Amino acid sequence: MTTKVQVSGWRFLLRRLEHAIVRRDTRMFDDPMQFYSRSAALGIVVAVLILAGAALLAYFKPQGKLGATSLLTDRATNQLYVILSGQLHPVYNLTSARLALGNPATPATVSSSELSKLPMGQTIGIPGAPYATPVSGGSTSIWTLCDTVARADTASPAVQTAVIAMPLVIDPAIDPLQANQAVLVSYQDRTWIVTHKGRHAIDLTDRALTSSMGIPVTARATPISEGMFNALPDMGSWQLPPIPAAGAPNDLGLPADLVIGSVFQIHTD
């Protein structure tokens, strides 16, 4: 049997042997070796705490996975993306991404494999805008995008885009677009109707549609820039509601040339 005193004496001899090897002195007026062992123990404790903190952070805030944020950065390429309507859209800069989302979101870094899980949409944003701007604590945006069209009456009008990053002072004589107003614009050989909600695609060759909306044949669309086009929310195309069985003969006893969907006028004396 080994007693506690024997174990203590054995440990003392080991420490004395360490002093003789390391310090070449067995008198042991002090014991600096004890500080080394304490430092090692403290380092182990600190390492365990760091590992535990990293594990908790990875569990509660994982990196590299799609989460609740709609602003993402590809870890491999640093390309910015925004998620809009379930699609992943590359974006030119952080300023454009925040404008598209309507909030000063912070990009979350994810892996390329995670990004590939979402359908890819078209690139959006304002080319040439500052990559990032100071985030305002207020609820009102201080960004304004303005298009100026030169030579609008010619065959090749020029469009200049200005981005104003400060509070805007609007002339009281200029009224905002009302709910019963719209602007006819064009972008990349397509025509759009801009309302107070966003842009709607429209086919000007559909005279039934344009007549019902009061758009004359001579109407000319105002060209807009890519930045303005991307800044306007896409609200879908405008089309006349479909008429079931259009073109089929009527069963109301009317003349045969009046098929379903025909528009006719009755004259009374």
- List pLDDT tens digits, range 83-134: 988 899 999 999 899 888 888 888 888 888 888 888 999 999 988 888 887 7
Indicate if 178-262 has the same CATH topology as 63-135: yes
In whole angstroms, what separates CA 76 from the centre of its chain? 18
Model confidence over 194-204: pLDDT tens digits? 999 999 999 98
Q: Is the pTM value of this prediction over 0.85?
A: no
Q: How far apart are CA 148 and CA 155, in angstroms?
A: 16
Burial class (CB in 10 A: 0-12, 13-18, 19+), 217: exposed
CATH T-level fold of 178-262: TTHA1013/TTHA0281-like (3.30.2390)
167-215: pLDDT as tens digits:
777 788 888 888 888 999 999 889 999 999 999 999 988 888 888 888 8
For domain 63-135, the CATH architecture is 2-Layer Sandwich (3.30)
Q: Nearest to residue 22, comparing CAs of 37, 9, 7?
A: 37
Domain ranges for the chain, please list them.
10-60, 63-135, 178-262
Beta strand 80-84 pairing with 71-74: antiparallel
**How many Å apart are CA 184 and CA 121, to the nearest integer?**
25
Question: If you search the block for the tokens 């002090």, which residue do you land on?
Answer: 30
Question: Quick check: helix, strand or coil at residue 239?
Answer: coil
Q: Which of 122, 127, 125 is nearest to 101 (CA)?
A: 125
Spell out a b/e string for 75-85, using b for 16 or more CB atoms within 10 Å of the CB, else e: beeeebbbbbe
Nearest to 213 by CA among 202, 198, 197, 199: 202
Angstrom distance (rounded) from CA 7 to CA 3 = 6
